[in-house]
């Protein structure tokens, strides 16, 4: 006969559904996710502030750099990752990839940035700007500030290479499906806490309060870059230390689901990584979901950041504003992860949780475009409220960005990563290399290609927003269809005999699974 649980035990299990014997594995994973997310948010704001606010630049540069910079960079990074996997053990691949990024950021900050004026081809860029149509302004800015562009590319690739391929790939290999339903919501909380902390630390390091105590350089923004990079380097070393502790002290070599034995070192190639998508309807469905998210978020973000740049043209102010947005995103994501996302997956299943993000993006995108197109009509009302149409659009766009990214960090990432777990280790590694290494970047480049074509036709981002709005709605509808298709395949895979949702030994140890409320 089962024993009725009290309110506080039920609440404790609701908030923290991790068993005591699992903490040795879970806590290091959580802390490692925190530091990776911390660097992701610091770098994301730095790259935008560097490139968008540069003289003769603007948000127009984003569509060009995401096509002609990030996609080639993602292909190169995925090639490097594949070659490293062919030659090194899993642990050494992790260290090598982290080291590549940390070395680049250190060289940029302490060697390249001080000599940026000598390295940037301003004279050639001025000639191109005088001879080419206005729609090429972004491409010229990308060329003019090629060092900033390289920093933007590497910062963007931190998300796909380190967070998606390395961390989530590792977590999917060492976590069973039953554990993932309980762990991944809490790992999302760690990533959200990282956003809150990184946002406030970035605001502090770029603010005037710290500079009043000591000055490293004559330029406040240069000093901020130095301090932020030092924080990123320290966080990167912590990531490698935690990973070493996990692999050496806690976790055994992962077993292949099919054979039950440690996997042999697999040969990876770019051709095979993409060929496996063509052979697997399941992986192709995941790819469509990832592509759709990145297309939608890129289409809207470019318009919003164009407005932010107009409101905050100075790099320090731009970075500070984006850091505050990061903090707010982290706060919303934290409470969503704590109170909603984990329970939504466990109680209602994979599909409702996976549908949450496209539905949220549809609703918030409609709200953003409504105010974008209608703010001028409310000019009189806004004047009485002491604000301007530009400030209102930036505010609504900021809220849209916070809410959509919060749903991405909590439910989209969790459900996407859970979809990889039933696959074999070969499908996990090769599929993630193709989807997260390149596919996500292709999604952003798809949105960027749309913006490029519209810039050549309309010469400005704002003038083409009505077409972007229609494309956003169509892509979200395709995304929802892909979720329905993937959910059928996921349920089929996870309901086959032998694919336990919860480990039997954990069921015996967990009071939450042997009592009723």
pLDDT digits over 388-416, tens only? 778 888 888 889 888 888 888 778 888 88
Whole-number Å distance between alpha carbons of 325 and 196? 9
Helix then strand count (H, E) for the chain reads 25, 0
**Does residue 191 lie in a domain region?**
yes
In this prediction, residue 182 has a pLDDT band, given cuts at 50, 70 and 90, of confident
Three-class SS state of 214: coil
Residue 248 has pLDDT above 90, yes or no: no
In this prediction, residue 16 has a pLDDT band, given cuts at 50, 70 and 90, of low
Angle formed by the axes of helices 389-407 and 281-311, nearest 10°: 150
As a whole number, the mean pLDDT across the chain is 81
Whole-number Å distance between alpha carbons of 458 and 456? 6
More confident residue, 479 or 449: 479
Angle formed by the axes of helices 281-311 and 425-434, nearest 10°: 30
**Does residue 47 lie in a domain region?**
yes
Tokens of 271: 């051709």
Backbone angles phi, psi at 251, to 5 degrees: -100, 135
* Contact between residue 359 and residue 203 where contact means Cβ atoms under 8 Å apart: no
Whole-number Å distance between alpha carbons of 178 and 500? 7
Whole-number Å distance between alpha carbons of 43 and 198? 10
- Can you list the alpha helix ranges (DSSP code H) found in 66-89? 71-87
Q: What is the mean pLDDT of residues 99-128?
A: 95
**How many structural domains are present in the chain?**
1
The pLDDT assigned to 196 comes to 87
The 8 Å CB, 24+ separation contacts for 338-344 are 338/15, 338/189, 340/410, 341/185, 341/188, 341/410, 341/411, 341/414, 342/17, 342/181, 342/182, 342/184, 342/185, 342/186, 343/14, 343/185, 344/411
Residue 97 has pLDDT above 90, yes or no: yes
% of the chain surpassing 70 pLDDT: 83
The pLDDT assigned to 50 comes to 92
Backbone angles phi, psi at 4, to 5 degrees: -70, 135
**Does residue 4 lie in a domain region?**
no
Whole-number Å distance between alpha carbons of 181 and 185? 7
Residue 240 has pLDDT above 70, yes or no: yes
Residue 252 has pLDDT above 80, yes or no: no
Q: What is the end-to-end Cα distance of the chain in Å, rounded? A: 13
**Does residue 11 lie in a domain region?**
no
The b/e string for 482-508 (b: 16+ C-beta within 10 A; e otherwise) is bbeebbebbeeebeeeeeeeeeeebee
Identify which of 354, 353, 360 has the alpha carbon closest to the alpha carbon of residue 332: 360
Q: How far is CA 284 from the centre of its chain?
A: 20
Tokens of 266: 């697999």
Residue 381 has pLDDT above 70, yes or no: no
Residue 369 has pLDDT above 60, yes or no: yes
Residue 8 has pLDDT above 60, yes or no: no
Which domain, by its residues, includes 105?
Answer: 18-255+269-510
Tokens of 143: 């060329």
Tell me 132's DSSP state. Answer: S
Q: pLDDT tens, 413-425?
A: 888 888 888 887 7
Tokens of 443: 């999604």
**Does residue 187 lie in a domain region?**
yes
**Does residue 218 lie in a domain region?**
yes
**Does residue 1 lie in a domain region?**
no
The pLDDT assigned to 95 comes to 95
Residue 496 has pLDDT above 60, yes or no: no
The pLDDT assigned to 258 comes to 47
Identify which of 515, 430, 357 has the alpha carbon closest to the alpha carbon of residue 85: 430
* Contact between residue 216 and residue 226 where contact means Cβ atoms under 8 Å apart: yes
Q: What is the mean pLDDT of residues 450-469?
A: 80
Percentages of the chain per state (helix, strand, coil), in multiples of 5: 85, 0, 15
Whole-number Å distance between alpha carbons of 88 and 238? 22
* Contact between residue 204 and residue 210 where contact means Cβ atoms under 8 Å apart: yes
Residue 459 has pLDDT above 80, yes or no: no
**Does residue 260 lie in a domain region?**
no
Please give the radius of gyration of the chain, using alpha carbons only, rounded to the nearest integer. 23
Residue 506 has pLDDT above 60, yes or no: no
Tokens of 424: 């074999």
The pLDDT assigned to 267 comes to 61
The pLDDT assigned to 328 comes to 87
Whole-number Å distance between alpha carbons of 406 and 317? 23
Identify which of 238, 262, 85 has the alpha carbon closest to the alpha carbon of residue 174: 262
- CATH assignment at residue 448: 1.20.1250.20
Identify which of 140, 8, 10, 152 has the alpha carbon closest to the alpha carbon of residue 516: 10
Q: pLDDT tens, 340-364?
A: 766 677 777 788 888 989 999 999 9
Dihedral angle over CA of 387, 393, 395, 401, nearest 10: 180
The pLDDT assigned to 439 comes to 66
The pLDDT assigned to 143 comes to 94
For the four alpha carbons of 253, 255, 256 and 257, in that order, the dihedral sign comes to negative
CA of 501: how far to CAs of 182, 188, 260, 396, in Å? 11, 20, 17, 41
The pLDDT assigned to 302 comes to 85
Q: How far is CA 160 from the centre of its chain?
A: 7
Residue 436 has pLDDT above 90, yes or no: no
Tokens of 323: 């850091």
């Amino acid at each position: 006969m089962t024993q009725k649980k009290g309110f506080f035990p039920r609440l404790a299990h609701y908030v923290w559904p991790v068993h005591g014997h699992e903490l040795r594995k879970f806590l290091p994973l959580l802390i490692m996710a925190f530091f990776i997310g911390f660097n992701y948010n610091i770098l994301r704001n730095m790259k935008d502030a560097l490139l968008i606010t540069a003289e003769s630049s603007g948000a127009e540069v984003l569509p060009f750099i995401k096509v002609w910079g990030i996609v080639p960079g993602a292909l190169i990074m995925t090639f490097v990752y594949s070659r490293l996997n062919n030659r090194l053990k899993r642990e050494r691949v992790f260290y090598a990839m982290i080291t590549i990024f940390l070395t680049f950021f250190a060289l940029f900050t302490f060697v390249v940035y001080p000599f940026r004026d000598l390295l940037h081809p301003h004279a050639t860029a001025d000639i191109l700007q005088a001879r080419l149509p206005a729609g090429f302004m972004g491409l010229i800015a990308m060329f003019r500030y090629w060092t900033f562009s390289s920093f933007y590319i590497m910062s963007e690739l931190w998300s796909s290479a380190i967070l998606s391929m390395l961390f989530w790939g590792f977590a999917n290999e060492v976590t069973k499906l039953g554990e993932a339903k309980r762990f991944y919501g809490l790992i999302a909380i760690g990533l959200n806490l990282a956003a809150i902390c990184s946002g406030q630390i970035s605001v502090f390091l770029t603010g005037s309060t710290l500079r009043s105590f000591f000055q490293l350089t004559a330029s406040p923004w240069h000093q901020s870059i130095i301090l932020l990079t030092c924080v990123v380097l320290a966080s990167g070393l912590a990531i490698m230390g935690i990973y070493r502790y996990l692999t050496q002290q806690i976790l055994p070599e992962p077993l292949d689901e099919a054979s039950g034995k440690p996997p042999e070192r697999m040969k990876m190639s770019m051709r095979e990584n993409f060929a496996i998508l063509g052979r697997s309807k399941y992986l192709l469905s995941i790819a469509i979901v990832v592509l759709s998210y990145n297309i939608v978020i890129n289409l809207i973000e470019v318009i919003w950041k164009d407005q932010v740049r107009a409101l905050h043209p100075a790099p320090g102010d731009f970075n500070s504003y984006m850091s505050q947005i990061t903090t707010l995103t982290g706060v919303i994501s934290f409470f969503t992860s704590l109170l909603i996302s984990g329970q939504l997956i466990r109680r209602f299943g994979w599909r409702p949780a996976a549908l949450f993000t496209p539905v949220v993006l549809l609703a918030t995108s409609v709200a953003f475009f409504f105010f974008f197109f209608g703010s001028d009509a409310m000019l009189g009302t806004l004047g009485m409220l002491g604000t301007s149409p530009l400030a209102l659009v930036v505010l609504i766009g900021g809220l849209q960005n916070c809410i959509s990214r919060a749903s991405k960090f909590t439910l989209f990432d969790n459900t996407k990563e859970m979809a990889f777990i039933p696959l074999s280790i070969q499908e996990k590694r090769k599929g993630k290399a193709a989807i997260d290494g390149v596919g996500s970047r292709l999604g952003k480049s798809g949105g960027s290609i749309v913006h490029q074509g519209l810039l050549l036709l309309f010469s400005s981002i704002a003038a083409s927003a009505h077409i972007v709005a229609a494309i956003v709605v169509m892509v979200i509808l395709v995304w929802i269809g892909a979720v329905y298709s993937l959910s059928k395949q996921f349920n089929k895979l996870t309901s086959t005999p032998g694919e336990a949702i919860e480990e039997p030994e954990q069921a015996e140890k967990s009071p939450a699974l042997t009592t009723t409320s």
